[in-house]
Structure 1
Amino acid sequence: MAKAIWNGTVIAESDNCEIVEGNYYFPPDTIKSEYFKSSETHTSCFWKGQASYYTVEVDGEQNKDAAWYYPEPKEKANNIKGYVAFWRGVKVES
């Protein structure tokens, strides 16, 4: 079971993660949505497509754009469509 932890709180956990380029991508229904706020940030990956971001908020503290996902990935990345990955201090334990 993989867990994503930030500020001492488990914000996602799943035993069905996809691992891409060393990042754990959590199925969208396994994130604890109360900790996620949509962000206006977008980036582009040449093979995965356009990423969207979430700001993570736990106990009033925000971690801007600490989670990302591909709502409409390119064909080669369809296995992570909507799945959420983390960085910026979010610890993933497996």
Structure 2
Amino acid sequence: MTMKAVLAGTVIAEADESELISIEGNWYFPLSSVKDGVLVDSPTPYTCPWKGEAQYHSAIVGGETHADAAWGYPNPYPTAFERLGKDISGHIAFDPRQVEVGP
């Protein structure tokens, strides 16, 4: 099944569900599935006790910037590998308050 991330009526990421990783109720999409030019780094700080330091991203859609619409863990802690059995460094999740994720 194909999963999509939709922001302001625009598909910003699309991938097969088998490529996604589900963590704590969020779907993490492969970075390669995100449309080019949508994400820009945000300075918002956050560190998860077991996943590590997050990199937030704002999303630009239709000329509008949606602050902190996505995040990922480019250098996850070893505990993330231990807990998930997967490398999440190449994946990104979307803020469910801003981005609709589903089939």
- State whether TM-score is above 0.5: yes
TM-score in terms of structure 1 length: 0.93
CA RMSD of aligned residues (A): 1.1
Counterpart of 2:100 in structure 1 is: 91
3-state DSSP of counterpart to 2:75: coil
Say if 1:72 and 1:81, in contact at 8 Å, map to a contact too.
Answer: yes
Q: CA deviation at 1:24?
A: 0.3
Unaligned ranges ≥5, structure 1: none
Q: Percent identity?
A: 45
Deviations 1:27-78 (A, max 9, x none): 1111113111111122010000000011001011111011000010012324
Whole-Å Cα distance in 1 between the matches of residues 45 and 36 of structure 2? Answer: 19
**1:62 equivalenced with 2:65 (yes/no):** yes
Aligned residues: 94
TM-score, structure 2 length as denominator?
Answer: 0.85
Name the structure with the higher strand share: 1
